[in-house]
Chain A
């Protein structure tokens, strides 16, 4: 498609992302001089060894996690909104995040309910993202099947919400039969957190993430044709079933792995694509995909900065901050904007 030139937009956003990345790293309960932060990042001499550990093993992985989570959820949200041609679709609204939660719950809580082979000690780094992705895929497939039967987009959203409560109910039942220790483990996970990831976990996270993200390059064409509706897309030579399945798998991987490592995070997937559309006034996915990814990363870095309550020792759950930010955006979109685009 012939396009306006958005290079300037992207350069500004990239600079903003880089700045926020450093700001995010420099904030925390321990105040560390900026010089020492730079030195520990770029291999210089740091005044205190503990500062280097804090930067390299805690703050740096957390900032990277924020970028991965923010961009991944935004891309997943964009894919859902285009696939369902519904501006209110998103990993959280459609119950996909709940699906991931179910996968994690079965893994953590199920070990005490079913016992035996699912012992919690056997939960490896890999099983968590795989369980979460499978859970996401399960719910997303169910939503897709339901969406095929009911064409009405409002009904699809309600069906998504119903799947969400259904999975919550199953999780409650599982929790009822579980031991306190496991319930606690699950609860802490469900609050959502960007921290606590080791470099090894982060590398697994990144592996899944990059597979999902690179996959989106191959569906730019069908995504753009979906802007005309399914019949037109088909008449343009798009294989509806195949492209839909690819979108389904990518969304499941992204949502699944993100939810596995940082808990169910609300609103980012729903709100960011709309902000991208507002800023770039485009519906072309060649523009919207990178725009949503960068904006999502930026917003989540900001949310994380706020969550740390700078200079205090407390950290708020990231989920609370994203909701505080996201809910008003969605309300504003619905009330103020006459047209909501996909």
Chain B
């Protein structure tokens, strides 16, 4: 086959461009827990290429490895084997401080009970940039205020974190991650304790942040419906596999059908949601 010079350049450009667009890549990644005595592998052979500026949701049933995957690509825990690359650099080669300016987190960890105010807590997100005695510069304060503005929590600014409801504290934690000013933000089940209204609010907020700030946001969730609706890309853990793709593609390929055991729920492709099996 003969390809014209022009066309060749066109394809090369696409190749380079798509390569530039990849923010996070995993190579033959095995995730799980390792202690001296035993190794528990949760998932193996994970090869992912995640693009910049997308809302990416990790779906799958309880205990299948969603959190483990997120914690591994966030360097909270180490891979059993394989590599994770952030901007083409191995995660292993990042220092904590360097990584802190690239990747921010919202975890399910309960915060220790302190008297931190909302502003103080969000301002802790500026630590990777502050000097040795943690002095906030004008720029830091501005970034904190922008984060407060983006998450619409101005009215909570001077409250203490322990006074907040679950929905409010989740927004504050997202604001803290925003103040950290990173290209990529990883959230582990940010809607876990929230009602439907607040869950949708969080999804809307994340969607808005992706489109306005061109951040890459990766979250795990149990909200299949909302994830299909709001995400640009989905990582779907089924019993034997990790499927990835845009929501519609995963639906037509029938991958959602195997998400949960058939005897409890069935996936309805037209409605794009699960229907309880009443048999």
Contact = CB atoms under 8 A, between A and B. Distances in A.
Interface in B89-127: 95-101, 103-105, 107, 109-116, 119-121, 123-125, 127
A281 interface: yes
B127 A229 contact: no
B74 A1 contact: no
Given A221-B134, A225-B127, A237-B128, A232 B105 contact: yes
A329 interface: no
State the main secondary structure of chain B at its contact with A. loop
Contact of B112 (A1, A85, A218, A220): A85
Contact of A281 (B110, B115, B141): B115
Nearest to B186: A235
Given A221-B130, A231-B109, A283 B114 contact: yes
Nearest to B99: A237
A235 B111 CA distance: 14
A87 B112 CA distance: 10
A286 B107 contact: no
Interface residues of A, number: 33
Contact of A229 (B109, B123, B134): B109
A2 B123 contact: yes
A228 interface: yes
Given A217-B133, A220-B134, A225-B124, A235 B74 contact: yes
Given A341-B113, A341-B114, A234 B133 contact: no
A341 B127 CA distance: 22
B115 A341 contact: yes
> Of residues A225, A226, A227, A238, which shows the largest number of chain B Cβ atoms within 10 Å of its Cβ?
A227
Interface in A267-322: 277, 281-284, 286
20 contacts: A1-B123, A2-B120, A85-B112, A220-B133, A221-B130, A224-B127, A227-B116, A227-B124, A231-B107, A232-B105, A232-B107, A232-B111, A236-B125, A237-B99, A237-B128, A238-B96, A238-B127, A286-B133, A339-B113, A342-B112
Interface of A: 1-3, 85, 87, 217-218, 220-221, 224-229, 231-232, 234-239, 277, 281-284, 286, 339-342
